[in-house]
């Protein structure tokens, strides 16, 4: 026998998901919104995830089930249920569309990713937000067009900036003008102020050592030692801009849930205007900035208390 307890991951705590309108962690709310996870799939039977629909574009794989773990981890940060067990997401219980475009090794064909984007576009009447914690140092006119068409159809795209400690301008889809590209910070205690223990990727409240940076990055989010759901009904702690991105996707979902007519541009503007900046004074919770950014552009740190 054991006690049942729900963890509020440090990333959710850092952006004050527990103080947002949905109060992540109180077992009392769910968010009426749809999020597409374009990734390795999602654990279709994980008790923490509300998987609404699934599809696979990986050859030989018929369903969008996750045989890697990455997509399930992303989904949990964005939308794990508020149910007193496991973890809780930024937009608890949001309907998840598991769009599998990467295989068990976490890689896949660009053509399959484009098919996944086109699938989201075909279902844009229902899907408000799409997360893409994937990319390559490449440029594809076909993928650029697919993303542009999907955003024009009303879907907000949130993507990872990449983990190469390089300028993200040469990485796709982070360099697409219509997406919200996310870099990662290290946060070890779920609070601003930089007083938590150091991590393997930097001191508390500093820019993550692995994170890409540059002018194409729109916003930052926690991405180090993030605890979330995993394949086969499990949980895991991993790091990356892939983990930062779903914090922002969840924030976008919170905004869309109460601003149903908002365009992707409206969502972007709200996220940027509500984030903390270098001039933000630490409030003892999550509202406060970080140090160590690798460029001269001080993009905001995502914050959801006002949602």
Structure confidence by residue, pLDDT tens digits, 172-222? 999 999 999 999 999 999 999 999 999 999 999 999 999 999 999 999 999
pLDDT of residue 190: 96
Positive or negative, the CA dihedral 34, 36, 40, 41 is positive
Return the bridge partners of 226, or none. 238
DSSP letter for each residue of 41-77: ---TT-TT--EEEEEE-STT--S---SSSHHHHHHHH
Strand-pair partners of 51? 96
Give domain status of residue 191, yes or no.
yes
73 is catalytic: no
List the CATH number of the domain containing 39: 3.40.50.200
Question: How would residue 121 be classed by pLDDT, with cut points 50, 70 and 90?
Answer: very high
Across the range 90-118, mean pLDDT stands at 97
Q: Give residue 1's pLDDT.
A: 42
Does residue 1 fall inside a structural domain?
no
**Sequence-ordered strand ranges (E) for the chain:** 6-7, 34-39, 51-56, 86-87, 95-100, 129-132, 156-160, 180-186, 206-207, 219-222, 226-230, 234-238
Q: Is the pLDDT of residue 69 over 80?
A: yes
The reply to whether 105 belongs to the active site is: no
- Number of domains observed in the structure of the chain: 1
Name the catalytic one among 242, 245, 270, 276. Answer: 242
**Is 115 a domain residue?**
yes
Residues 124-147: tens digit of each pLDDT? 999 999 999 999 999 999 999 999
In the predicted structure, residue 3 carries a pLDDT above the cut 80: no
Mean pLDDT of the chain: 95
Measured between alpha carbons, how far is 77 from 87 in angstroms, rounded to an integer? 8
Quote the percentage of the chain above a pLDDT of 70.
97
The b-or-e profile of 262-271 (16+ CB within 10 A means b, else e) is bebeebbebb
Active site residue 39: yes
Structural domain including 42 reads 6-274
pLDDT mean over 247-275: 97
Say how far apart CA 307 and CA 293 lie, in whole Å: 26
Domain annotation covers residue 221: yes
- Domain for residue 156, yes or no? yes
Is 27 or 139 the better-scoring residue by pLDDT?
139
273 pLDDT above the threshold of 90: yes
Confidence of residue 2 (pLDDT cuts 50, 70, 90): very low
Catalytic residue among 46, 70, 73, 176: 70
Evaluate whether residue 91 is within a structural domain.
Answer: yes
Among 16, 18, 34, 39, which one carries the catalytic annotation?
39
Residue at 260 is within a domain: yes
Indicate whether 113 belongs to any domain.
yes
């Amino acid at each position: 026998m054991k006690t049942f307890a729900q963890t509020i991951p440090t990333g959710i705590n850092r952006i004050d998901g527990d103080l947002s309108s949905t109060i992540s962690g109180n077992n009392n709310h769910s968010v009426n919104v749809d999020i597409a996870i374009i990734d390795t799939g999602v654990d279709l039977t994980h008790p923490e995830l509300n998987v609404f629909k699934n599809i696979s574009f990986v050859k030989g794989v018929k369903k969008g089930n996750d045989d890697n773990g990455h997509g399930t981890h992303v989904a949990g940060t964005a939308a794990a249920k508020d149910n007193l067990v496991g973890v809780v997401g930024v937009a608890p219980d949001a309907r998840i569309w598991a769009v599998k475009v990467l295989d068990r090794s976490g890689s896949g064909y660009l053509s399959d990713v484009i098919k996944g984007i086109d699938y989201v576009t075909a279902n844009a009447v229902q899907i408000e937000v799409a997360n893409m914690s994937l990319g390559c140092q490449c440029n594809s006119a076909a993928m650029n067009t697919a993303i542009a068409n999907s955003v024009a159809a009303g879907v907000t795209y949130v993507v990872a900036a990449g983990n190469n400690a390089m300028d993200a301008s040469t990485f796709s889809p982070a360099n697409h003008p219509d997406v919200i590209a996310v870099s990662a910070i290290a946060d070890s205690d779920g609070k601003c102020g930089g007083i938590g223990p150091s991590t393997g990727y930097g001191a508390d409240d500093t820019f993550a050592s692995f994170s890409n940076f540059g002018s194409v990055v729109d916003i930052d989010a926690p991405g180090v030692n993030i605890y979330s759901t995993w394949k086969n009904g499990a949980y895991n702690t991993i790091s990356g801009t892939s983990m930062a991105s779903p914090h922002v996707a969840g924030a976008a979902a919170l905004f869309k849930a109460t601003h149903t007519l908002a365009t992707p541009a409206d969502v972007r503007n709200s996220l940027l205007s509500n984030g903390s900046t270098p001039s933000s004074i630490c409030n003892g919770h999550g509202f406060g900035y970080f140090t160590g950014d690798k460029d001269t552009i001080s993009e905001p740190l995502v914050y959801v208390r006002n949602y």
